Structure 1
Amino acid sequence: MGTDGRDTISSREKKKFHTGGVACDCTDSLMLIHVSQRRDMVSVVSLPRDSLAKIPAHRDPGTGEQFPAHPAKINAAFAEGGPALTVRTVEAMTNVRVDHYLQIDFRRFMDSVNTVEGVDVCTSRRLSDSATKLDLRPGRHRLGGGQALQYVRSRHVDASADLGRIQRQHRFLISVMHRLATGGILADPARAIDLARTVLGATKVDQGFTPKELISLSTALSRLSPSRAEFTTVPIAGFNPVIEGLGETLKWDEAAAKKMFATLNKDRTLTPRNSTVKPSDPPRIGVETAVRGNTLACS
């Protein structure tokens, strides 16, 4: 879960990378990641922040006040009850058990990218965002921490809005896997532990997710070819009728989503063997096709 926490970003960095504004204390990036039992396949399903969710009944961790179950955007679960309530909400909506979670804010994201000395991204068209001031021309770009943050945050590049941002986040993740596989980072114990501690520094971790375990998992995933990773967004049916106080919310395609999450629970892939399906760019609501990582990677 990626939060919009920016308290530790300096004034200079806020100005340079346009990360200012007021944080909503919510999860603007939420991904459900399934690693196969054999650790030979990883499936990534993004859950759009504006998805209509039913937040479970809970007690406010700060005041102790009890709240009944109620509708809200899925990213509000974090603001209401932190990572624990976010996990409960995701589990209730997907029927998938969440064994571990990573929570990362702006600071740790930037520092993690800088620790691996940047990550390459590629684009076939110009990417320009008026809010984050991202401006990338077609081609390959090595992004440092601040520019990488602009890349994964941008949602005003075109009309695809948050769905376009999600697709760029998927492209970034496959590039991170490639960077870990080829940069020699995980082969160097000192650099590996430094990276793990950087990632976990602003991360709340449950069920014994230690730096060594994170390194072990990262090493296993870095050995996978891009075609052994698959990415998609939960199937979207469209927009719900406007709910007072919530504004526009996304409605999941319940039948398709149920089938997708049941597939993950059975430890099966979401894509056919040797799939060559390419993502639509820009993506569109109702066309949430699962694709292999090699279709997202830099060529």
Structure 2
Amino acid sequence: MSRRSCVRFTLRAVALTVLIGTGLGCASTAVPRVERTDVFGGLDNRPEAGPGMNILLVGTDGRETVTPYEKRVYRMGGIACDCTDTMMLVHVSGNRDRVSVISLPRDSYARIPAHRDRRDGRARPERAGKLNAAYQRGGPALAVRTVERMTGVHIDRYLQLGFRSFINTIDALGGVGICTTRHLKDPSTALDLAPGTSEAKGSRALQYVRSRKVDGTADFGRIQRQQRFLVGVLRRMARDDTARDPSRMKALVSALLGGAGQVRVDRGFTTAELLTLALQLRDLPPAATEFATVPVSGFRKRVPGVGETLQWDTRKSRSIFAALRADEPLAAVSLDAPPPSAWHESEYAPVSGAALDCG
């Protein structure tokens, strides 16, 4: 499955793309509230860096900052797995004239490299696992190492967002339009969305992008909804001309940074670099941006000690990541569509954000 959207100004995508990361550079007084972490120190045998910038965007399931009301109404209770709910690989071309975003399904089968478990401090050998467990076991550094080995893509920057940051930012934006052609109902998140277009504030928007059980599409359907949601975010920003209003941008950045411990970046992601990237991307047209999802060949493959996983299609995945390494558009990669029964209204070939917009 794949989808594509636009990112043409300072804020890139709430909990899902570099868009919000670039917004951090607009308010230097707020930047110290971002947690900077040593993500790349000690990493070895890394892929060779290529043209452009590759950012690993991670959305975590931390629930400690949501209110009791939000937990109850939007079913955010229970024990968080302290793992990655969303993971996207964002490539900004060397000429800053194109942005490509590849979603990495959380249940992807992964070989997690040898590491020291951050939960008990014990050394662990390389082992099989789901992709979202890499962060749980070894934090940002292990997540980066695992993704680099799976994709062969050198990660240059790391950006991590949590539930509170997402909620606050969508509220500051005034809500986002959500559209669906069918009834969406998920008992796990209490989502109950009628066909048509509706306006969603922060908590309800999070409910929408978290839902995985509205049908049999599981994480693939959720990724599709997340990417569709990004189109709504960017459409709202374009309508309100948010990126060119300093006071609104300051409010959005403050909202983004409002949840303590909710935003992490690598130590090298400086304010100056964030601001420069924001200015470079501000006027990027929708036609120069794209979303895609890693092609999968095996669904619900059971692995002993791991559970049901998704197996990447080796040949097709290599083609996608080769395009990133070569700084080429994903649209140039030829991929076959999956079986119609795999998931609802989905395909591999990247499409424009306009194709996801309800209007």
Q: Same fold per TM (> 0.5)?
A: yes
- Measured after TM superposition, the shift of residue 218 of structure 1 is 4.5
Does residue 1:96 correspond to 2:96, yes or no? no
* Divergent runs of 4+, >6 A: none
Q: Considering only aligned residues, what root-mean-square deviation do their CA atoms show, in Å?
A: 2.5
- Measured after TM superposition, the shift of residue 180 of structure 1 is 2.6
Contact 2:73 2:190 in 1 (8 A): no
Does residue 1:264 correspond to 2:321, yes or no? no
Change (3 A) 1:261 1:37: same
Contact 1:192 1:215 in 2 (8 A): no
Q: Secondary structure at the match of 2:307?
A: coil
2:35 aligns to what?
none
Contact 1:126 1:136 in 2 (8 A): yes
- Is 47-56 or 123-132 further displaced after alignment? 123-132
How far apart, CA to CA, are the structure 1 residues paired with 2:177 and 2:170? 10
Within 5 Å, give how 1:239-250 maps onto structure 2: 239=299, 241-250=301-310
Change (3 A) 1:27 1:157: same
Q: Secondary structure at the match of 1:291?
A: coil
- Measured after TM superposition, the shift of residue 73 of structure 1 is 0.2
Partner deviation per Cα, 1:23-55 (whole Å, 9 max, x = no partner): 111112111111122222211111111101011
* The one of 239, 246, 252 aligned to 1:189: 246
2:167 aligns to what?
110
- Is 245-254 or 177-186 further displaced after alignment? 177-186
* The one of 45, 56, 59 aligned to 2:113: 56
Contact 2:119 2:137 in 1 (8 A): no
Q: Secondary structure at the match of 1:91?
A: helix
Q: Which runs of 5+ in 1 are unaligned?
A: none
Within 5 Å, give how 1:1-299 maps onto structure 2: 1-61=58-118, 63-200=120-257, 202-210=262-270, 213-214=273-274, 216-218=276-278, 220-239=280-299, 241-272=301-332, 283=343, 287-299=347-359
Contact 2:237 2:243 in 1 (8 A): yes
Contact 2:301 2:310 in 1 (8 A): no
Q: Secondary structure at the match of 1:186?
A: helix
- Measured after TM superposition, the shift of residue 60 of structure 1 is 2.7
- Measured after TM superposition, the shift of residue 57 of structure 1 is 1.1
Partner deviation per Cα, 1:242-293 (whole Å, 9 max, x = no partner): 22221111110111111110101111111159xxx9xx89836994332222
How far apart, CA to CA, are the structure 1 residues paired with 2:225 and 2:278? 21
- Measured after TM superposition, the shift of residue 101 of structure 1 is 1.9
Greater strand fraction, Structure 1 or Structure 2: 2
How far apart, CA to CA, are the structure 2 residues paired with 1:129 and 1:261? 33
TM-score by length of 2: 0.75
Number of aligned residue pairs: 294
Partner deviation per Cα, 1:136-193 (whole Å, 9 max, x = no partner): 2222222100010011001111111110000001111222222233323222223323
Name the % identity.
Answer: 49
- Measured after TM superposition, the shift of residue 90 of structure 1 is 0.6
Contact 1:59 1:65 in 2 (8 A): yes
Change (3 A) 1:7 1:229: same
Q: Secondary structure at the match of 1:205?
A: strand
TM-score by length of 1: 0.89
- Is 120-129 or 78-87 further displaced after alignment? 120-129
Contact 1:116 1:183 in 2 (8 A): no
